[in-house]
């Protein structure tokens, strides 16, 4: 029996429109689902999907998102995106309002990784694509 493959990750969003703008426009992830759907959007991760699901309004009203957002450190996951150029992608995301931290070295080079916060404070990471 083959091992399971990750099909999708679901991220719950207080402001679905704002989160779609971030992941689609700022990171360039293609939208796969009906863009008119106000409760569910699927984005292509190149082998898996990132699904954004609107938090029900009665629950969303109890959630505060600050500007800039505070890190949701209690969330037990981190999305990691492989990019060609960590520094350039970091700059692009910063220009689009993302909270970005300083790049740090990794096995893939001196500017190998960089953490950031999406509009709702979910921590994500950029990692340099392996060369060669």
Q: What are the boundaries of each domain within the chain?
A: 1-57, 67-132
Distance CA 87, CA 93 (A): 10
Q: Which two tokens stand for residue 86?
A: 């960590």
Domain covering 67-132 assigned CATH 3.10.180.10 in the classification: yes
Q: φ, ψ for residue 17 (rounded to 5)?
A: -60, -45
Selecting from 3.10.180.10, 1.25.40.10, 3.40.1390.10, 3.50.50.60, what CATH number does the domain 1-57 have? 3.10.180.10
Domains 1-57 and 67-132 share a fold: yes
Residue-wise pLDDT tens digits, 51-109? 999 999 999 999 999 988 998 877 888 999 999 899 999 999 999 889 999 988 766 55
pTM higher than the cut 0.95: no
| 65 in Cβ contact with 14 (< 8 Å) | yes
Residue-wise pLDDT tens digits, 114-131? 999 999 999 999 998 877
């Amino acid at each position: 029996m083959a091992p399971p493959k990750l099909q999708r990750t679901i991220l719950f969003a207080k402001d679905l429109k704002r989160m779609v703008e971030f992941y689609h426009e700022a990171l360039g992830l293609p939208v796969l689902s009906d863009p008119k759907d106000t409760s569910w959007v699927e984005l292509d991760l190149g082998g898996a999907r990132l699904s954004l699901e609107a938090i029900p309004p009665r629950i969303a009203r109890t959630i505060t998102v600050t500007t800039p957002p505070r890190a949701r450190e209690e969330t037990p996951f981190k999305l990691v995106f492989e990019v060609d150029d960590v520094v350039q992608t970091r700059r692009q995301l910063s220009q689009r309002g993302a909270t970005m931290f300083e790049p740090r070295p990794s096995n893939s080079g001196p500017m190998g990784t960089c953490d950031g916060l999406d509009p709702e404070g979910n921590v994500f990471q950029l990692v340099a694509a392996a060369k060669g």
